[in-house]
Structure 1
C-alpha cells in the first residue's frame, strides 16, 4: 500500500467527516455523538423525545441556552426537529434553564471564575453534569466534585473550540485537557480516520507538551490512571530506544518535552501528521526555559485545523504572543479564555489556601536555626513524624550541602533533587519523598514547576528565589487540590536578592493580595527601596541611599546608596 502524503490524508479525513455529517452519524449505547460543531458529548446525557427522532445538536446545548420546549402535537419529523420542540438539557421548562443559569453565575462569583469570548451557559458543577461517559468519570467520583478549572474548561474543550486556561498551580489542569483528549482520540479510532504513520501504526492523534521530565511523567501517570489511551512519554535524559519502540507500536497520545520531541522528529521516527489535538501545559514555564523556538517549530508541523488548548499559570506578553501564533482562529473569532482566581491579572497572586510566613534573616546561621525550629514544630504537630516538606535552595551545590546538613546535623531524613542528577537518581529521590521514607526533599527550581506530590504539608524557601513569579510557583507545591492546610515559610535575606527593594515590594503585594501578615522589617525594606546595599559598613552597602543626582551612585560611600539611573554618579565619594 503506497504511503499517502499529509495533504491526501487531510483530504480523506475531511471527506469522511462530511459523509458523517450528512448521514447524521452518532454512536449509541451511551457512547459519544459526533457534533456538527466539531465537538463531542456523551449521548447518554441527552435523550430525544421519541425513539425514531433524530438526536439534537449536542454542540448547541453547550454553546447557547436551550430554547423553551413546546410539546409537538403532530408528531411529524419537522415538528420534532424544530427549535421550539428541542428538549433542553436541564429540564422541560424555561424556569429550569433560568434557575440553572443563576446557579452558574453564583458559582462563577464564589470561585472567581472569569470566562471570556464564550457564553458560559453550562458548567460541570457535579459529575453528572460532565460530558463524558460513566466509565470515564467512574474513578473521578472519589473526589467530591470537579475542580473549578475543570468545571469551566470541559464544556469548551468538548465543543471543539480552542481554549486558553489561566489558573494557579495545583488547580487540576491536567484532567482539564486529558479527558477531552481521550474523547477525541477514541472518536477518531471509531470513525476510522487514523491512516497510520511511518510504520503503518495508527496515531498519534493528540499531543501534550510540558516543560520538565517530571511533569511529563506525572501527566502520563494520570493518563494511564483515568483513560485507556496508548501513551508515550518522550523526555530527555532517558534512552531514545524505548521511546522509539513505543512510537513504532502505535500510540494515541504523545506527552513530551519540546527538546526531545524535536530530536525524534528530526530522526524521522515521530510522525505528527495526524495530530489535531494540541495541548501546551505550563506554557509560561516553557518560554522561561528557552523552548520558544522548539514550540514554534513543532506548531509548524501540525495541521492548521487542529484544536489547541493552552494552559498557563501567568499571562505575560510573551505567552500572549505565543498563543496568538499557535492558535489558529478564523478572522474575527476570539479564543475562549478561562481565568480562575484572578490569574492572568497584572498582579501575580498566590494560592489563598496557603498560609505564608516570611522570616527576615541576615545570616545563614539564622536560616539554619529557623529551619531546625520549623522542622521540630512540624514534627510535633504530626505526632512525632515529619510530614512531607519541600525545601528550596538556589544552587545545586547548596542543595546537596543543605540535604547533608539536615541528614547528619538535624537528624532529618532528607534527599536532594536538582538538574545534575541522572534520571534514575531523580526518580529514586521522588519515590523516596512520595512514600515518606525520606519526607524532606531539598530541591532547586527544577522541581518548582510541575511537581505534583499529594499531601505536601509545608514549603520552605531557604533561599529567596530570583523573582516573585518563582516564589508563587514554589509555594504552589502545597495547598494543592483544595487542601486547606498548606504552609509556606520564606527566609528573606537581602543578600539573596539583586534588588532587595523590588523583591520586597512585590512580595508585600502578594502577601496583601492573599490577606497574609506582612512583617514590619519587610515594610522597611520596601520603603527604603534600593537605597540599602548588600550589608553593613563600607563597600557593597553602608550608604544611606537617596543621595544626590536623582538616585545615582550617590549619597553614600562607594556603591552605598540609590542605584544607577539617569542621574548618573551624583553626590557620593567614588
Structure 2
C-alpha cells in the first residue's frame, strides 16, 4: 500500500515523497483513512511507529481547503489545534507539520513557555491555521486574547498519559470548554489507564479505536538488560560501560535535576563527552544541547523525564536507566527513544537493591522477565538476590557513589576503572557535603570531587550528630519526616523526597 492509496491530496503525497517515505506504517494505514473520514479517534501505538505523521497528514488533508495565498490574517483562522505535554514534543510535531505542509499555503506555529510571549503574539496576529502548543502557554495566549479558538475544526491531544502524569488535565478541560462543540477530536496515548479512558469519554464522540500493538508493550526491536549494582557504585559502572563502547551514543535517565547535573559533570571529568537536560535549563540551552546530541557532537545526554517524550533521534543505540522510574509506564516512554522505526536498540538499567520493587512493577507491566547480568568487579549488595530485600529507596546512599564493575563479561575485570566508595559511612559523608540554597547545586559550588570520597571535618561530623537535639529547643519533632536520620534529609547525592525534575 502507498500513501496515494490512503486518499491523501497530491500536495501531501509529494511532501511525503520529498521526505523519503514510500510506504505507510501500520498505524498510518489505519489512522489516515479514518481521520480523513471525519471520525474521532482513540489511538494507541508504541513510540517510533510513525504516529505523528499518522495524525498530521490527515489533519492537513482536512484543513487544506482553507489554504490561501492571501496575506490577510482574516483568511488564516486557526483551524487545527495540537496539544503536547512538553516543549520538545511540541517542536517535534511542529517540524512534522512544516515538513508535510511545504506545498500548501498553510501557516503553523509552535507555542511553548520559557520564552518571551511577545514574538509569539506578533506571529499569531498574522493569522495561523495550525497551532501546536503546550497547555500552559496556550492558556497564556487565551488570557492575553492573542488567539481565537472559535474556528477550530480538529483537536489533537498527543501523549495524553503524559499530560495526566504532569498534572495538565485541569488545563485540558479549560481548553476543551473554549473549543467549538462541533469538532473532530483525536486522542493519542502510549498507554491506557482508567483516567485516560475517562478523559476520552469527555472529549471524544463515538471514537474509532486504533491500536497497532498490545497495550503497555515495548518495541520488539529493543534488547533489555539489568545490571545489578550497589547504589554507591552506579556512576563508575556507568562510566565503565560507556568507555567500553566508545563509538556509541547513549541517553541516560535519572530522577532529579540535582543528580542530572552532577552525573553529567562526572562523566565530563571522566573524559566522556556529556551534558545535562532538565527543567531548570532555559529553552535555548535545551535546544542547543539536543541539537548537539542529535548531530553527534555530544556523546551522552543525561536527562530527567522531561526528555522522555518527544525526543526523536535517528538510530539511538542505547537508553540507560541510571535510576529506575517510579512509575512503570515511564520505563516504556524512556526506552522508547531507542529501537525506533525498525532500528535495533538497547535498554540498560543499573538497579540497586532499593529499586527491586520498581523493577518488579516494570516487568509486570511489559510482561517480560528482564535478564540480569552482574558485571564482574561491580557486584551488588549481598541482599540484592534475597526475596523481599529492601523494598524502597527511602535510604538510598549515594546513587552516584564510586564503583568498580567491569562492562560485559567478555571484558577482563582487571580493566575496571574506578575506585570503590567506602561502605561504612556514606550517610555521614553526604550529611556533611555543603549545598546551595533552593535545592540547586553544582560541583563547582559544592566543591565536591567525584573522583574521591568526601571526607568531612571533625567539626562537621560533630555538628551533624548534635543537630537533631538542637532542633526546636530540644522539643520532640512533630512529623515522621523529622524523625528520619539527618543524613537522609540532607543527602547531597541521594534523591530528595521533594526534588523536582
Q: Say which of 89, 105, 109 aligns to 1:215.
A: 89
User: Is the CA contact 1:234–1:255 (under 8 Å) kept in the aligned structure 2?
Assistant: yes
Name 1:171's counterpart in structure 2. 49
Task: Name the structure 1 match of 2:225.
Answer: 357
SS at match of 1:477: coil
Answer yes or no: is 1:335 the counterpart of 2:207: yes
**For residue 39 of structure 2, what is the aligned residue in structure 1?**
161
Q: Which residue of 1 aligns with 2:98?
A: 224
66, 75, 79: which one aligns with 1:188: 66
Q: CA deviation at 1:326?
A: 1.2
Give the equivalent residue in structure 2 for 1:517.
371
Question: 2:240 is matched with which residue?
Answer: 373
Give the conservation status (yes or no) of the 8 Å contact 1:393–1:444: yes
Displacement of 1:518 in angstroms is 5.2
1:19-63 deviation line (CA, Å, top 9, x unaligned): xxxxxxxxxxxxxxxxxxxxxxxxxxxxxxxxxxxxxxxxxxxxx
Cα-to-partner distance string for 1:491-544 (whole Å, 9 max, x where unaligned): 11133x4xx43x232233356x3575356999x96983467576899xxxxxxx
Q: How many residues align?
A: 387
- Give the Cα separation in 1 of the matches to 2:258 and 2:333: 22
Give the 3-state SS of the residue equivalent to 1:487 in structure 2: strand
Cα separation, partners in 2 of 1:377 and 1:162, compared to 1, 3 Å: same
Select the residue among 473, 491, 498 that pairs with 2:350.
Answer: 491
Q: Which residue of 2 aligns with 1:284?
A: 161
Equivalent of residue 300 in structure 2, options 431, 440, 454: 440
CA contact (8 A) 1:277 1:307 kept: yes
Whole-angstrom distance in 2 between the partners of 1:519 and 1:473: 23
- Give, in angstroms, the shift of residue 183 of structure 1: 1.2
Residue by residue over 1:137-186, the C-alpha shift from the partner in whole angstroms, topping out at 9 and shown as x without a partner, is: 23434235211211111111111100010111222111111111111221
TM-score, normalised relative to structure 2: 0.72
Which structure exhibits the higher relative contact order, with contacts defined as CA atoms closer than 8 Å and separated by 6 or more residues?
Answer: 2
Distance 1:215-1:448 versus aligned 2 partners, 3 A rule: same
Cα drift, residue 473 of structure 1:
0.8
Check whether the contact 1:150–1:176 (CA below 8 A) recurs between aligned residues: yes
2:9 corresponds to = 133
Q: CA deviation at 1:300?
A: 0.8
Secondary structure at the residue paired with 2:289?
helix
CA distance in 1, matches of 2:208, 2:317: 35
Q: How does 1:37-186 map to 2 (within 5 A)?
A: 125-141=1-17, 142-186=20-64
1:535 to 1:185, Cα distance in 2 relative to 1, 3 A: closer
Q: Does 1:249 align with 2:133?
A: no
Judge conservation of contact 1:399–1:444 (CA < 8 Å) in 2: yes
Cα distance between partner residues in 2 of 1:302 and 1:132: 26
Q: C-alpha root-mean-square deviation of aligned residues, in Å?
A: 2.8
CA distance, structure 1, for counterparts of residue 384 and residue 121 of structure 2: 54
Distance in 1 (CA, whole Å) between partners of 2:334 and 2:83 is 21
**Contact 2:88-2:309 at 8 Å conserved across structures:** no
**1:206 equivalenced with 2:73 (yes/no):** no
**Separation of aligned partners in 2, 1:293 and 1:449:** 20
Larger radius of gyration: 1
Structure 1 distance, partners of 2:242, 2:15, is: 36
* Gap regions ≥5 residues in structure 1: 1-124, 380-385, 538-557, 560-574
CA spacing shift, 1:360–1:531, aligned 2, 3 Å: closer
Q: 2:317 aligns to what SS in structure 1?
A: strand
1:401-480 alignment, distance < 5 Å: 401-409=262-270, 411-480=271-340
Shift of residue 450, structure 1, vs aligned partner: 1.6
CA distance in 1, matches of 2:235, 2:332: 23
